[in-house]
Structure 1
């Protein structure tokens, strides 16, 4: 546990160059396909808004909104997600490191409660599983 709360970091190495991984996260059509999202809007710039409707196993639809706080193409993307009942968005950092024709990707977040961290970590693993499948099929 960090001094500010409960955090996690998931790191994987993907079989795709960093530019392809970046495009998968920042291209509306690509993101919708691998993230099981519909109605995707991505304005990838600092202060730009994003929104989507996540379709989770079982068919439930969860609308999500937020904005980008940091954008460094092919390196770092920090996204804030609006959460009902919270004054400040929950931030998620995506860091990319080239490894030849592969990419090391790290997703990280910090939460006030362990339960929130655990739920988000599970969701992030599902996202990375979908991204891995998408990149393998591309």
Structure 2
């Protein structure tokens, strides 16, 4: 081996070790990020999810749709465990406001009913100050 060949051999040995070090650094960063999300994101979800409480079943009501059609709607509200009072009048009022005068065609498809249910739940969460977790339609009859 000549003197000129040694730096190339030494450089060839050093090259792969730099790549290995960079690869290890990337792996360590990925593992650290994954550990962060497992530890901290799990805690945030556990704190954010309220504990279910009582289910308040409301008497069915008739709501006038557009034309000569009507909707008979029965609902149940899934309250949180922290809910202080169970008054269904706000939910009934919100349902009447939302469905009154609506075309029957918008509610005949499952997709339309799901969209209206989602919108009603968003409204109920505001009205009840996040004491309502979910809304269930126990009766949904149109004529």
Bigger relative contact order, structure 1 or 2 (CA pairs below 8 A, ≥6 apart): 1
Greater strand fraction, Structure 1 or Structure 2: 1
TM-score (norm 2): 0.29
TM-score (norm 1): 0.30
Greater helix fraction, Structure 1 or Structure 2: 2
Larger radius of gyration: 2
